[in-house]
Structure 1
């Protein structure tokens, strides 16, 4: 599980890239200590021992959301 913020987020060049399998995921938002967060949960591959168990969780706040939206617009020219 991880919470992302812009101070600890950087571009990194990778020498080797590949495409991962598609998995089920869900999202929700919530307020904690007066601050709103967005959370994405992925559930891993369907053939794993506990396929309905959350595999990975990523959380971020509005400040990071603004940064990631800007980066996505730049990278995909949208």
Structure 2
């Protein structure tokens, strides 16, 4: 039970931290865009490219393919998605 309370506390702290990031990001983005102009646009472009790279790595098709005892298995969701 103590371990469960710890995970609930960590989850609540993470949720509070991420919700605080959202409002700060929304209020500060116009300020930085106005003062930095093209430099800030470059930062946004780089962050989008990093995000695409991370998402590609997470959803890489090889993560959905498994080899067990010499047999190749494709996850059911992935096999339906590629048809």
How does the TM-score come out when normalised to structure 1?
Answer: 0.34
Structure ID, larger Rg: 2
Higher strand share: 1
